[in-house]
Chains A and B, each alone.
Chain A
Amino acid sequence: MTETPLPDPDERVGVSLRLMDITVALLLLIVGAVVVYDSYRLGAKWASDGPESGYFPFRVGLLICIASLVTLVQAVRARNLSYVMFVSLARLKLVLTVLIPALVYVFCVQYIGLYLASAVYIAVFMAWLGKYSWLKSIVVGVLVNVSFFFMFEVWFKVPLWKGSFDPLHFLGY
């Protein structure tokens, strides 16, 4: 490869489109097989009172298998796609800087509830990725969630998840 070097070496390495195509097709094939298996277990045939529970999903599962097999074969044969980038390492890092904190956030929601976790998440995201001062970030995080609190708990009377530890219990909602 004698291309002009890009400023960021991470832009040049990454996952190829072909690899991702193959991976996703394989995953879908597994899903299809699982659907077929379970529908067959339930009964995919014709009972005395009509079609059994697995009758329709069995056919759906078969179609998933067929469609993903064709996609798989097409992807395996399309060698030229090996050089097409699905995502470069640099960009993958950017995506993961959003995805991983988001997963941690949902994990925290489970225990400390939507309001607290959201306030922390917004503040950390702003301070860490947006390079805002901590004071500013915390103020925004808290304000946004206080307004959500009033909107949901007070106005619309839609209670949100407070977490299994329920740290906001003292508010009485």
Chain B
Amino acid sequence: MVEINALFQGFAVVLSPFNMLLMTIGIVLGVIIGVLPGLGGANGVAILLPLTFAMPPTSAIIMLSCIYWGALFGGAITSILFNIPGEPWSVATTFDGYPMAQQGRAGEALTAAFTSSFVGAFVAVVMITFLAPLVAKFALQFGPPEFFAVYLLTFCSFIGMGKGSPWKTLAAMMLGFALAAVGMDTVTGQLRLIFGFTELMRGFDFLIAVIGLFGIGEILLSMEEGLSFTGKTAKINPKVVFETWASLPKYWATSVRSSLIGIWMGITPGGATPASFMSYGVAKRMSRDGEKFGTGQIEGVIAPETAAHAAGTSALLPMLALGIPGSPTAAVLLGGLLIWGLQPGPLLFVEQKDFVWGLIASMYLGNIFGLVIVLTCVPLFAAILRIPFSIIAPVILVICAIGAYTVHGAMLDIWFMMLFGVIGYLFKKLNYPLAPMVLALVLGDRAEDSFRQSMLIAQGDMRIFFSNGLVGGITGLALVLLFWPLLSRVIARLRGTSARAAPQTPD
């Protein structure tokens, strides 16, 4: 019950008027960011990060994480009302959400979406409350080889679990590592990969990359689609909310299943987007009305929203407990920790109790605040989307440029942002995943350090990564995940031959 005590101390931190104000600002900004095309959780937080440099770290992380919750809520509004997913993780919400809005059940769909988001997040936060301290305590025994093994596990699971070509994932990821290596080598002090350009000495900041890849890239993509917003109007009144709430307990099984899928996908770096699709697929298969999915089933809204929010929230667990983010947005928050002068990793739970428990407590409150704010202000947020794209697009671009400049106060960074924007556009269209690239850029230096330290300990002997049960187990799991596409094909073939021998059974 140490956790409960610590949690209540966290609540005491959060419940100061200043922090409550920041939470509200964060949620409102987050929903706006989630609604606008071109601004999402990751780059929205990245742009606002420089404004928090002067704040106490606890207040800063509370505001920034609330922006993230807000963005998760906001994505649902555009999917349901406009059939335009504001965020990639709400694509699956459009399948049933938009048909419901077309049938005049927008209020019902929105209430269901927000409530299930809340449920998903809540389950995930409870999980974080009890699991994160344990993981952190366990990870305190980790040395460099163990840490490198965990990094390896993170990156291998991107390759093995990714949907697209594993080679493209590998290329994008390694590009991230290469970009992270640019600049001064922290160990020897040598300058790497700068080819005489002294401006490159600082290296590439991942915040610039995030703003460019997700912000500018997204604007270019939405321009190509020639966006025209024609949406349904949202009417939410207390009657609809309570009626929908009364109908929700029926779908408890879907909620539980989706929360678990979300939590699993969030901790392993699958992320919110695949979690929402997977959860939608599973719900469709398990539901009695499975064949009616896509025509406006409320379950088809509950499943992806619960999973997306659960995944988005639990992505913070590895970030807090191990210093390894599970999603690009968590990566940006991790970057924030470094800027505020905190050392991410398991020691955070020992040395920065106020910070960690303040953040966890703010997750509980932030989601309650968020639910209330979105339920009451939906028409307002939907009105933002009715501002024409020819006003929104240049303003977003300007905001991105300002955000890129403020990170280091360097003009050159604005050029890099544009470069990353073009890369983001090309990579998105060619199915190179952006998340592993961003994570590699963030973790590059630390992964390299732990690799070099392990090599130093072992005098260059790779067997150190199998030297004891713990590190060997993690490395082994990483390799299994890395070769999972091959393994699953082999397993399928073995099963296929045995199934052909035996009479075929429908699955």
Contact = CB atoms under 8 A, between A and B. Distances in A.
B187 interface: yes
B406 A35 contact: no
B51 A140 contact: no
Contacts of B452: 50-51, 55-56
Interface stretch (B2-10, B57-65, B335-343, B422-430): B422-430
B321 interface: no
B171 interface: yes
B139 interface: no
A94 B226 contact: yes
Contact of B430 (A20, A125, A156): A20
A99 B219 CA distance: 9
Q: Which of B175, B219, B388, B422 has the most CB of A within 10 A?
A: B175
B18 interface: no
A60 B181 contact: yes
B172 to A, nearest CB: 9
Interface in A41-68: 42, 46, 50-57, 60-61, 63-64, 66-68
B223 interface: yes
B226 to A, nearest CB: 6
B431 to A, nearest CB: 9
B401 A53 contact: no
Contacts of A54: 192
B226 A60 contact: no
A42 B174 contact: no
B188 interface: yes
B390 A126 contact: yes
A39 B192 contact: yes
A1 interface: no
Q: Which of A25, A53, A91, A95 has the most CB of B within 10 A?
A: A53
A140 B398 CA distance: 13
A105 B397 contact: yes
Given A99-B220, A102-B216, A130 B430 contact: no
Interface stretch (B243-251, B364-372, B411-419, B496-504): B411-419
B171 A130 contact: no
Contacts of A46: 460
* Interface range for B: 35 or more
A144 B168 contact: no
Contacts of B391: 122, 126, 130, 140
B178 A53 contact: no
B480 interface: no
Contacts of B405: 114, 160-161
B430 A68 contact: no
Given A156-B51, A158-B51, A158-B406, A103 B418 contact: yes
B485 to A, nearest CB: 13
B464 to A, nearest CB: 13
Given A42-B190, A71-B168, A102-B397, A94 B178 contact: no
B224 A87 contact: yes
Interface of B: 50-51, 54, 165, 167-168, 170-171, 174-175, 177-178, 181, 185, 187-188, 190, 192-193, 195, 216, 219-220, 223-224, 226, 388, 390-391, 393-395, 397-398, 401-402, 405-406, 409, 411, 414-415, 418, 421-422, 425-427, 429-430, 432, 448, 451-452, 455-456, 460
Given A53-B190, A56-B177, A87-B224, 6 more contacts: A28-B175, A38-B195, A42-B190, A56-B452, A74-B165, A156-B54
Interface of A: 17, 20-21, 24-25, 28, 31-32, 34-35, 38-39, 42, 46, 50-57, 60-61, 63-64, 66-68, 70-71, 74, 86-87, 91, 94-95, 97-99, 102-103, 105-106, 109-110, 114, 118, 121-122, 125-126, 129-132, 140, 144-145, 148, 152, 156-161
22 contacts: A32-B174, A53-B192, A55-B455, A60-B181, A63-B174, A67-B171, A67-B174, A70-B167, A94-B224, A95-B425, A98-B219, A98-B220, A102-B397, A102-B421, A105-B397, A106-B418, A110-B411, A121-B397, A121-B398, A152-B406, A161-B405, A161-B409
